[in-house]
């Protein structure tokens, strides 16, 4: 079953084309990464999902509900944790969650779930604290609780760990993994590509408002045809053979990093070339590409049309 369907979505702001025919589906129950450089259109797409922005053309459905024509059902199915720390400064944490719960038609019967959210997100001791007195990390936790008060089956996390410390980041991912394990569809946007690589099973990449890649994480990683050979040289003052100079990714002090094509460059032949040039090394190891290399390769090669 499909959790979210984007059907030929366009969004224009005057002459600016923020989205250009974005068309893909997010499977129900997936941990989905929505990635792209700044200005790629990710926030616009999320805002259309949440009903904050209306698409110029095309439509978006959440669990089959059109976000424009069936907005009430679509909102009930979606919880969005925004990037900005926007919290009402006049209420305590518990009051904020009660108000948010009321917006979705829940009353006292939802109190047990709110208490569970407070406990799970380590907010119980801050429940009666005014939001103005919270740290940035605690405000981030409140935003997550707000997004979950109505138990939405689809949860969007928009840069949830931006600017948070390591301890909170680990706590947030532990909580998010549990949500996913419990059956929620998770949609993650992040500039920390190692997070997306660790958490997501499927990934879409936007660039200049267009979808340029959509695949499983493993399939995307397999697209990158290079691997790295990292060598620690005995003497950094060397002249590399001309055949190797175009393979240099970096050469800082005594550490030489070569980018080798999986099919065309044999490590044995590379090492023979170094020995023939009397270049000695004390250590070497290979590194498989990560999502960051794939991302840079795809987005730097996609041109604006």
Which of the residue ranges 82-91, 111-120, 184-193, 196-205 would you say has the lowest mean pLDDT? Answer: 82-91
Domain ranges of the chain: 2-221, 225-288
pLDDT band of 6, cuts 50, 70, 90: very high
d(CA 192, CA 184): 22
pTM: 0.85
pLDDT digits (tens, 9 = 90+) for 252-273: 989 999 989 888 889 999 999 9
Average pLDDT over residues 287-298: 86
Question: 45: Cβ–Cβ under 8 A, 6 or more apart, which residues?
Answer: 6, 9, 19, 22, 34, 206
pLDDT digits (tens, 9 = 90+) for 131-149: 888 888 888 889 999 999 9
Q: What is the CATH number of domain 2-221?
A: 3.40.50.300
Which residues does residue 159 pair with via DSSP β-bridges, in sequence order? none
Model pLDDT, residue 135:
85
Pairing outcome for strands 202-207 and 31-35: parallel
Report the percentage of the chain scoring pLDDT > 90.
Answer: 55
């Amino acid at each position: 079953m499909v959790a979210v369907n984007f059907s030929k979505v366009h969004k224009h702001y005057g002459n600016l084309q923020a989205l250009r025919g974005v068309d893909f589906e997010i499977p129900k129950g997936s941990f989905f990464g929505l990635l792209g450089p700044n200005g790629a259109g990710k926030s616009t797409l999320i805002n259309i999902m949440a009903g904050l922005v209306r698409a110029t053309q095309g439509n978006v459905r959440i669990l089959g509900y059109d976000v424009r024509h069936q907005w009430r059902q679509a909102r009930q199915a979606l919880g969005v944790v925004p990037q900005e720390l926007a919290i009402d400064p006049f209420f305590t944490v518990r009051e904020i969650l009660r108000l948010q719960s009321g917006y979705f038609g829940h009353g006292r019967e939802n109190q047990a779930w709110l208490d569970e959210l407070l406990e799970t997100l380590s907010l119980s001791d801050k429940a009666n604290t005014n939001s103005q007195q919270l740290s940035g990390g605690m405000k981030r936790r409140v935003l997550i609780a707000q997004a979950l008060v109505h138990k939405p089956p689809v949860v969007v996390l928009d840069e949830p760990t931006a600017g948070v410390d390591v301890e909170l980041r680990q706590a947030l991912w532990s909580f998010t993994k549990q949500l996913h394990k419990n059956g929620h569809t998770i949609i993650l946007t992040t500039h920390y590509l190692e997070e997306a690589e660790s958490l997501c099973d499927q990934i879409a990449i936007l660039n200049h408002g267009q979808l340029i890649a959509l695949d499983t994480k493993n399939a995307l990683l397999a697209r990158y045809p290079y691997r790295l050979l990292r060598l620690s040289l005995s003497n950094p003052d060397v002249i590399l053979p001309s055949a190797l100079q175009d393979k240099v990714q970096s050469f800082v002090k005594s550490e030489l990093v070569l980018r080798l094509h999986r099919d065309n460059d044999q490590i044995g032949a590379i090492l023979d070339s170094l020995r023939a040039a009397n270049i000695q090394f004390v250590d070497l190891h290979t590194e498989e590409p990560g999502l960051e290399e794939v991302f840079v390769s795809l987005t730097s090669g996609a041109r604006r049309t």
